[in-house]
Structure 1
Amino acid sequence: MPVVTDLDSVPLTPVYTIVISAAGEATIEGEPVEPLPGQDGRTSALAEIRVRAAKRGHPIRINAKEPDGSVWPLIVDHDGAVTPMPGPHPVPAPAPVAPRPVPVTPPPAPVVHAPAPAPAPVPAPAPQPVQAPPAPAPDWHAPLPPHHADGFGRIVAAELRGDLVGAALAARELEGVLDREYGPLHPHTVGVLGTRAWLALLMQEDWAAIMRLHLRTAERRHNAQAPADETRRVLRNARAVWWRLAAVDRAEADEIQPELQRVSELVEGVLPE
């Protein structure tokens, strides 16, 4: 599908926010999106944005918030083309404000004071050791750098085509690239790992593999000190997958249960329910 090549030609407003929950539900500006037949919440939300773009006659800017908390700035056109932004959407310049008139008052009459006595000399303070500034906390909502926009765009394009296998392969490839560049605990790497877990849950093909991927994501998020609420949500998904696995292969579920217990104790400090 064609993509927008002149990003500056897209109006700066409106910028819609799509939020995808861990349960797969979607909202646009806080309003729930009714899923289309045979489509997940994300695809249905993008379809609604395409309708709005068609009504306006130009592409629309959106911020897509994933279940792991990461935010992807995108441009969506009426024909379904999705263009990843190289960074956050630019903020419109504020409207100019007319200056208020400043009242003019005459200067006060000068006051003559007698010279004050010279102050007693004050000893210079002892030099204090210079401490290095603390390392900045990782930004879990920062968008991918521009040189990785194409990799993320392949994930989005494959999912919009309904090619979940292709989207999962593109996510796995991007995770490997990010791992080599930033390391396994960087927010970018962990965020794409969470996307892989989400795509695997949508495919529902191998419950054991899906569960292990969710457990890996939860443990990696915990070790990277990611936002705890979303980490616990990933763990809850892993528990739900365990029950699905137990229904079809109890032996396999029993084999994985110790790993579920270990990650549960690591993340929450309690035994799994």
Structure 2
Amino acid sequence: MTTTTDTTTGPGTDLIPPTPVYVITIASSGAAMVDGEDVTAPGTPHHEARLAALAEVRIKAALHGRPVRALVKETDGINLPLIVAVDGTTTPLDRPHPDPAPFVLDLTDDQDDTQPCPVTPATDRPTSTDRPLPLYIPPYTDSPSSIGHLTVRAWQAVVNPETTYTAETLELLMETAERRLIAEAEPYIDTLRVIRNAHTVWHQLRDDEPETAARTAAPLLTLLEGHPRRTGDVIEWAVARSTA
């Protein structure tokens, strides 16, 4: 059953990615929609329509393997921002959802190779572990939770200056990208970020650790299919090294 906690905004809710935000619209007729898709028919009591819409968002949270954001548009014109957890718990927020603009990623393939993509993945943080980052890689499963935790670990390794440009981080990024592709994990934009970050780290490592770069070049090229500029960068380096 869906439960509601006290209105709050704090570190826990701030960690939840700004997108997606599922918009719940409840008409005075009792018809409820989630992102424009009908959930209940006209004539449904308002309370039941609301619960049905929240239950639909709960399913989406389960698919993501983490809490998600929602915005309830009430019949009185009030917009209520919520966090909906996988277990159905809802947390009303005391301020609007954050502006997603800082998290927008340029989908063209002309990004600066010298810096990782400065974008948090659309996943919640993993539970704590005694193993150091980024060396711990969770056992393979195709569950959204497992893939989400792995993606966050890759992001944590990238944004930590002590681990950004290391062979361990490169291997973690490539492992994450491979698992996301096999699992067809959503959102795909996170998979693109991981792949691009893997190339960025490889690009920075290749002069100081040429053996690591040579060993990872072939699997990296597989990941970079559809990224001609980055593919060319890897091939150019590999050819130059082989003819040196």
TM-score (norm 2): 0.43
Higher relative contact order (CA 8 A, sep 6+): 2
Structure number with bigger Rg: 1
